[in-house]
Each structure stands twice: as structure tokens, then as C-alpha cells.
């Protein structure tokens, strides 16, 4: 729609100079390429004061380019921190939007708001995973000031405690490696305060679980080795499943491509759950923690699993809804996280 | 807990009727609820006064009103439901925190730890709560009936300035007084080893509750101060126009 408007504007601007009967073949090489430069003014969202006026902005400039220009005048606000809107009530514009396709005249007004200091998602993910890994090991090795001094640096006599440490550490090492090498994170950044919130939760939960599992007075599971083995198998099965799903999701998108695709089952049996579920990575994650709970028979672990389930269900439902909105032919058999249930 | 009803005059007739009936029902329920709560806390106030006049001391006062107090304070949980359904335009979390802290004080501190029931701090927060609740619920009642006398509004938005800090002092002193008894009896606590591999120490839990007043109290207090400025200040402007 805007191309027509743009052509109309082009025509208006060129009106003064254009001859009424154009002779295209002769005229075109002579007529210099008429680029209609845009004028961009950036206003503060709350106070509406004019922060910056940019003239001679290329029509093919993206929102990201404009953010870069804004950053030059206000070095404190790097592009990731900026939120530009066309209207105070609408959503923020995405970085990829091109100036000339936006519903603006040749003078475009953007409303700026500061999103606060930002961190990349990768940074936050790593911090969230390294903490629990290290903290659990501190409890496992019974460093001083945690338990009674007579237990410092001692080792538990129960096999399940060693197994639990291996599983927990394996889970977080896997997560760190996936963040570094497997995940393709599409969102750029998140606000700084999120790292305190997220890390606080993950670190405190890990410490709380580790305290009881590695406690000198830990009680082994009621059904003994059978229960431990069952928990272990569930845990391992779901870890492999979770990894398989992450690989499928990675291979779904080519780097740099913005095309969204529906994930489908591959030849790997662990991915066959895609027939029934939109977000099997969360399903497998839940399964892992259920396995860990069964293996350790520890109430804090059960509570952590419950909270994780609630949070992941919220995420899964959101993802499922966006799939349904994006694709009209989305498979109808799929639920968001638990097959046929939710 | 101001009613969130809008006048039906803006909508089409069908919606108009539906909204009118819905609003009428919710208004009726909210009015009944607020009248009942005002009455309940008035009864409590009367009971406390009569006890004190008759016995001349506050010892044994808590025991005499404990049941009524438990009933009316617990019934306030309904307010959280009101916010959740949306018939009252307040945050569920704010209301939830306030009601839960009250219920915690009543059931888990005052009622369950008998040794502190004759403490002055308990009487202090009881008196504060009674005055606050009577003012608050009568304010809501009058507002719902559209006949709000200025003095009720004035009371609701000014009493708290003194009552709120007094109430907090009473609550904190009561919990502090309860600590040695909790420690000695080990109530509500679970120690290792046990098959759930979890432990809970009510003593430390109470200490954490006391510490949580430090971040929470100023937030609620300043929230009320801001509301006061908005409501009372807004009123002044209207009067000027008149």
C-alpha cells in the first residue's frame, strides 16, 4: 500500500519539474534517481519532547539503522536499549522494519522509551546454569559452614547421593553446552533486573535441594534401589529426549533466516512426541525433574519440579498459541506440553 | 474495594440490560458483604469494650473474642476472590498479601501460642485492626450506596497514618514475644532425618516474617499515602469548581 503512496509522493515532489508528457526512454537516463529522503524526529514517549531530528534518512533504512543514528547522539542509549514506537499506545517496532514500508509520511515521528540496561539472553542463560552447577557441588563436597563442622569434606555413604550429584551436574553441563553450541536465540536482549530475578530463583532452588540431598542425615528412598533405578532411567531418557528436541529446533531455522517453520518428527524416536505436543522440550524437561524427584525422594525437589511445571506450561501455551496463529494448517492433534491434557 | 461498575448508559440496549443485571447483582452482594463485615467488627469492638469495662483488665480478653475474630478475619479471604473475578478493581496480590498476613497473625501467632495472648501488644493490634476495619468497611458500604459522608472518607484516608504504624508495632512485638515459646516447644517444625528429606523451623520462619516487614511495610504505607493524596486532593478540586 505504501509503495503506491510513495509513488504518489514521488510524483508530487517531482511535479514542479516533471513535464506533463513524459518520454520514458529519453527521460530516464537523464532524470537523476529520485530518492525521497525521510525526515525522522524522535520524541520522548512520556514527555513528548523532541529528542532528535534526523534529516536525509534513506527510505530503505531499517529501524535498527535509526536506532544506531540515535545512539550516536545519545551514547548512553545503545540500540538494544531503545524502544521505538509509531504511537504511544502501539507496540515497539521491530529492528528489521524498513522505514518506507511503515505507515508514515516523509516526516516520521517515533516515540522513544528506554528499556534499561540490557543483557543478551545467552549471558543470562549461562549465569542461570553455572550457578546451580557450582552451588550443588559445594554442598556435595560438604564445604565448611554448611553442615556441622564434623562433617566437613566428608562423603556420603549412600550411593544415591553420588548418583544425584552426577545427574544434577550432567543436566547443567548439558544446558551450558547447549546454550553455547546448540541454541539459536532469536530474541536479542532482556532487561538487567531479569538476571537477578532468574538467577536468584535458580541458584536458591539449587542450594535448597542440594542442602537436603547432601545432608549427613539424608534418608534414602523408601523403595530402595528399585526406586533409584526407576528415577534414573526416567531422568536419562528425558535428558536424551530433551537434547534431541533442541537439535531438531536448531535445524529448523537456517542462521539469519527469519522464516518460521513448524517442527516435525524426524527419524529419531525421541522426536516422535512432536505428533502429540508442540513444546516437547518442556515435556522432557519436566520428565527429567520428575525422574530426579523419584530418585532422591526429596520434598524441595518435588516443589521445584512443580514450580517448573507451572512456568513451563505457561511458556508452552504461549508458544502453542503463536504456532496456531502463524500457521493455518498447524496439526490439530498437538497439545502444548502434556499430550491430550494441556 | 471500590465497586468497578460503569453506568450502563453508554452501551447498546441488550448489553445495557445484561450489564445492569450483572452490576445490580454484584452491587447487592458487595453491599451485603461490606455491611456484614462492618457489623462483625463492630460486634468485636463492643465485645472488647464490654470485657474491659466489666473486668478492668485485658487479661483473658483475647480468649473471649478469639472465635469471632477468627471468623470475621478469615471470611475476608472472600475479598481476594472479588479481586480475582474482577468485581473489585484492586490488585489480587496486594489484597492477598494483606489478608494472608492478617490470617497468619490470627491463626499462627495469636491463637496458637497461648502464652502471648495476654500481652499488651496483642491488644494493641486488635484495637488498631478493629478501628481500621470498621472505618474501611463502612467507607465501602457508603460508597456502594452512593451516600458517602465526607467524614467517613476523611477517616478512611487519615486514620491509617497513625493506625498503620501502630498496628505494625503491635504485630511485631507480639511475634517477638512468641519467639521463646516457639523455640522451646518446637511447634510446627520438622527436623531431619525424615523420609521426606525436608526440614522446617518455625522459629526461623517467624524471624523471616518479622524481617519481611522491612521491605513490605513502607511500600504499603506509601501506596496508601499516594491514594490519600489522589482521593482527598481530587475532592478539593471538585469543590473549587462548585
CB A58 within 8 A of CB A37: yes
**Bridge partners of residue A82, in order along the sequence:** A114
Higher per-residue pLDDT: A246 or A63: A246
Q: Which pLDDT band holds residue A2 (cuts at 50, 70, 90)?
A: low
Higher per-residue pLDDT: A318 or A15: A318
Higher per-residue pLDDT: A96 or B155: B155
Q: Is A205 on the interface with B (CB under 8 A)?
A: no
Nearest chain B residue (CA) to A212: B197
* CA–CA separation, B195 and A297 (whole Å): 8
pLDDT of A10 strictly over 70? no
- Per-residue burial over B21-58, b = 16 or more CB atoms within 10 Å of its CB, e = otherwise: eebeebbeebbebbbebbebbeebbebbeebeeeeeeb
Contacts of A296 in chain B (CB under 8 A): 197
Cell of B166: 501502630
Predicted local distance difference test score (pLDDT) of residue B14: 58
Predicted local distance difference test score (pLDDT) of residue B46: 96
CB neighbourhood size of A50 (10 A) = 11
User: Judged by CB atoms within 8 Å, which residues 219-278 of A form the interface with B?
Assistant: 219, 222
Residue B200 Cα, gap to closest chain A Cα (Å): 11
Predicted local distance difference test score (pLDDT) of residue A94: 84
List % helix, strand, coil for chain B (3-state, nearest 5): 80, 0, 20
Rg of chain A, C-alpha, whole Å = 28
pLDDT of A1 strictly over 70? no
pLDDT of A52 strictly over 90? no
**Averaged pLDDT, groups of 10, chain B, 242 residues long:** 42 56 84 96 96 94 95 96 91 90 95 94 96 96 93 95 96 96 94 92 96 92 89 56 34
Higher per-residue pLDDT: A228 or A51: A228
Strand, helix or coil at B7? Answer: coil
Section A194-217 average pLDDT = 94
Predicted local distance difference test score (pLDDT) of residue B10: 46
CB neighbourhood size of B209 (10 A) = 17
* Nearest Cα to Cα of residue B81 among B71, B92, B73, B72: B92
pLDDT of A87 strictly over 90? no
Q: Which pLDDT band holds residue A243 (cuts at 50, 70, 90)?
A: very high
CB B41 within 8 A of CB B139: no
CB A112 within 8 A of CB A44: yes
The answer to whether the CB atoms of B198 and A300 lie below 8 A apart is: yes
Higher per-residue pLDDT: A65 or A305: A305
Size of interface A-B (CB pairs under 8 A): 29
Predicted local distance difference test score (pLDDT) of residue A30: 53
Q: Is A215 on the interface with B (CB under 8 A)?
A: yes
pLDDT of A34 strictly over 60? yes
Q: Which residues contact A315 (CB under 8 A, 6 or more apart)?
A: A279, A282
Predicted local distance difference test score (pLDDT) of residue A233: 97
Q: Is B196 on the interface with A (CB under 8 A)?
A: yes
Which burial class, exposed, middle or buried, applies to B13 when counting CB atoms under 10 A from its CB (0-12, 13-18, 19+)?
A: exposed
Write out pLDDT tens, residues A143-192. 999 999 999 999 999 999 999 999 999 999 999 999 999 888 777 788 88
**Bridge partners of residue A57, in order along the sequence:** A38
pLDDT of A123 strictly over 90? no
Predicted local distance difference test score (pLDDT) of residue A285: 97
Section A320-342 average pLDDT = 92
Nearest chain B residue (CA) to A300: B198
CB A202 within 8 A of CB A124: no
Residue B14 Cα, gap to closest chain A Cα (Å): 30
Predicted local distance difference test score (pLDDT) of residue A61: 85
Nearest chain B residue (CA) to A303: B198
Q: Would you call B6 a catalytic residue per the annotation?
A: no
Which residue carries 527469519 as its cell? A258
Higher per-residue pLDDT: A26 or A76: A76
The answer to whether the CB atoms of B198 and A219 lie below 8 A apart is: no
Section A224-231 average pLDDT = 95
Q: Which of B191, B193, B197, B198 should we substitute to test contact with A (largest number of A Cβ atoms within 10 Å)? A: B197
Strand, helix or coil at B88? Answer: strand
The answer to whether the CB atoms of B197 and A296 lie below 8 A apart is: yes
Section A136-143 average pLDDT = 96
Residue A215 has its nearest CB partner, among B192, B195, B196, at B192
Contacts of B195 in chain A (CB under 8 A): 219, 222, 297
The answer to whether the CB atoms of B193 and A218 lie below 8 A apart is: yes
Q: Is A280 on the interface with B (CB under 8 A)?
A: no
Q: Which pLDDT band holds residue A261 (cuts at 50, 70, 90)?
A: confident
* CA–CA separation, B64 and A213 (whole Å): 47
Predicted local distance difference test score (pLDDT) of residue B1: 41
ipTM above 0.85, yes or no: no
Q: Is B195 on the interface with A (CB under 8 A)?
A: yes
Predicted local distance difference test score (pLDDT) of residue A31: 54
Q: What is the dihedral of CA A310, A311, A316, A322, to 10 degrees?
A: 130
pLDDT of A54 strictly over 70? yes
* Nearest Cα to Cα of residue B140 among B54, B239, B34: B34
Residue of B79, B119, B133, B171 marked active site: B171
Predicted local distance difference test score (pLDDT) of residue B169: 96
Q: Would you call B164 a catalytic residue per the annotation?
A: yes
Write out pLDDT tens, residues B41-95. 999 999 999 999 999 999 999 999 999 999 999 999 999 999 999 898 888 988 9
Whether the full predicted model's pTM is greater than 0.95, yes or no, is no
* CA–CA separation, B105 and B112 (whole Å): 10
Q: Is B192 on the interface with A (CB under 8 A)?
A: yes
The highest-confidence range among A55-59, A73-77, A185-189, B70-74, by mean pLDDT, is: B70-74
The answer to whether the CB atoms of A299 and B198 lie below 8 A apart is: yes
Q: Is B208 on the interface with A (CB under 8 A)?
A: no
Q: Is A297 on the interface with B (CB under 8 A)?
A: yes
Residue B199 Cα, gap to closest chain A Cα (Å): 8
CB B174 within 8 A of CB B109: yes
Predicted local distance difference test score (pLDDT) of residue B7: 42
CB A189 within 8 A of CB A120: yes
Nearest chain B residue (CA) to A214: B197
Q: Is B198 on the interface with A (CB under 8 A)?
A: yes
Residue of B5, B11, B164, B221 marked active site: B164
* CA–CA separation, B189 and B203 (whole Å): 8
By DSSP bridging, strand A107-114 and strand A38-44 are parallel
CB A243 within 8 A of CB A178: yes
Amino acid at each position: 500500500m505504501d509503495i503506491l503512496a510513495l509513488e504518489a509522493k514521488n510524483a508530487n515532489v517531482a511535479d514542479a519539474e516533471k513535464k506533463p508528457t513524459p518520454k520514458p526512454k529519453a527521460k530516464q537516463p537523464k532524470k537523476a534517481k529520485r530518492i525521497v529522503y525521510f525526515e525522522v524526529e524522535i520524541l520522548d514517549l512520556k514527555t513528548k519532547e523532541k529528542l532528535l531530528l534526523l534529516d536525509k534518512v534513506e527510505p530503505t533504512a531499517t529501524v535498527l539503522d535509526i536506532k544506531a543514528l540515535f545512539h550516536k547522539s545519545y551514547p548512553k542509549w545503545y540500540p538494544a536499549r531503545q524502544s521505538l514506537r509509531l504511537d504511544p499506545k502501539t507496540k515497539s517496532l521491530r529492528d528489521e522494519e524498513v522505514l518506507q514500508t511503515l505507515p508514515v509520511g516523509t516526516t516520521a515521528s517515533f516515540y522513544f522509551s528506554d528499556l534499561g540496561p540490557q543483557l543478551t539472553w545467552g549471558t543470562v542463560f549461562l549465569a542461570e546454569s553455572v550457578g546451580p552447577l557450582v552451588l550443588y557441588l559445594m554442598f556435595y563436597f560438604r564445604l565448611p559452614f554448611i553442615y556441622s563442622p564434623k562433617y566437613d569434606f566428608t562423603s556420603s555413604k549412600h550411593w544415591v547421593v553420588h548418583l544425584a550429584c552426577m545427574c544434577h551436574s550432567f543436566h547443567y553441563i548439558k544446558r551450558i553446552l547447549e546454550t553455547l553450541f546448540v541454541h539459536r536465540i532469536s530474541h536479542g536482549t532482556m532487561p538487567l533486573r531479569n538476571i537477578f530475578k532468574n538467577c536468584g530463583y535458580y541458584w536458591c532452588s539449587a542450594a535448597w535441594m542440594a542442602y537436603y540431598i547432601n545432608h549427613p542425615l539424608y534418608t534414602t528412598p523408601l523403595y530402595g534401589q528399585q526406586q533409584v533405578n526407576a528415577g534414573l532411567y526416567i531422568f536419562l531418557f528425558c535428558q536424551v529426549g530433551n537434547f534431541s528436541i533442541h537439535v531438531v529446533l536448531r535445524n529448523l531455522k537456517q542462521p539469519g533466516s527469519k522464516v518460521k517453520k513448524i517442527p516435525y518428527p524426524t527419524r529419531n524416536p525421541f522426536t516422535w512426541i512432536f505428533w502429540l505436543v508442540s513444546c516437547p522440550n518442556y515435556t522432557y524437561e519436566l520428565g527429567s525433574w520428575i525422574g530426579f524427584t523419584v530418585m532422591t525422594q526429596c520434598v524441595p525437589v518435588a516443589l521445584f519440579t512443580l514450580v517448573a511445571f507451572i512456568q513451563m506450561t505457561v511458556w508452552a501455551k504461549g508458544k502453542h498459541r503463536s504456532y496456531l496463529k502463524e500457521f493455518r494448517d498447524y496439526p490439530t492433534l498437538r497439545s502444548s506440553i502434556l499430550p491430550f491434557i494441556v | 474495594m471500590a465497586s468497578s461498575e460503569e453506568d450502563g448508559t453508554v452501551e447498546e440496549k441488550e448489553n445495557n440490560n445484561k450489564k445492569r443485571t450483572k452490576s445490580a447483582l454484584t452491587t447487592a452482594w458487595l453491599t451485603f458483604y461490606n455491611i456484614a463485615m462492618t457489623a462483625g467488627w463492630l460486634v468485636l469492638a463492643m465485645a472488647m469494650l464490654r470485657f474491659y469495662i466489666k473486668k478492668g483488665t485485658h487479661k483473658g480478653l483475647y480468649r473471649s473474642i478469639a472465635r469471632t475474630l477468627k471468623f470475621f478475619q478469615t471470611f475476608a479471604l472472600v475479598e481476594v476472590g472479588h479481586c480475582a473475578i474482577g468485581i473489585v478493581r484492586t490488585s489480587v496480590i496486594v489484597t492477598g498479601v494483606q489478608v494472608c498476613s492478617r490470617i497468619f497473625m490470627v491463626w499462627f501467632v495469636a491463637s496458637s501460642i497461648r502464652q502471648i495472648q495476654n500481652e499488651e501488644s496483642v491488644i494493641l493490634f486488635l484495637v488498631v485492626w478493629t478501628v481500621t476495619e470498621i472505618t474501611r468497611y463502612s467507607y465501602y458500604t457508603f460508597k456502594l450506596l452512593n451516600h458517602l459522608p465526607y467524614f467517613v472518607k476523611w477517616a478512611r484516608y487519615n486514620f491509617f497514618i497513625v493506625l498503620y504504624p501502630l498496628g505494625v508495632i503491635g504485630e511485631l512485638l507480639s511475634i517477638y514475644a512468641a519467639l521463646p515459646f516457639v523455640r522451646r516447644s518446637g511447634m510446627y517444625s520438622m527436623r531431619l532425618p525424615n523420609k521426606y528429606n525436608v526440614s522446617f523451623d518455625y522459629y526461623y520462619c517467624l524471624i523471616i516474617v518479622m524481617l519481611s516487614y522491612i521491605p513490605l511495610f513502607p511500600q504499603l504505607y506509601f501506596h496508601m499515602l499516594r491514594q490519600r493524596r489522589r482521593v482527598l486532593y481530587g475532592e478539593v478540586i471538585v469543590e473549587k469548581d462548585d
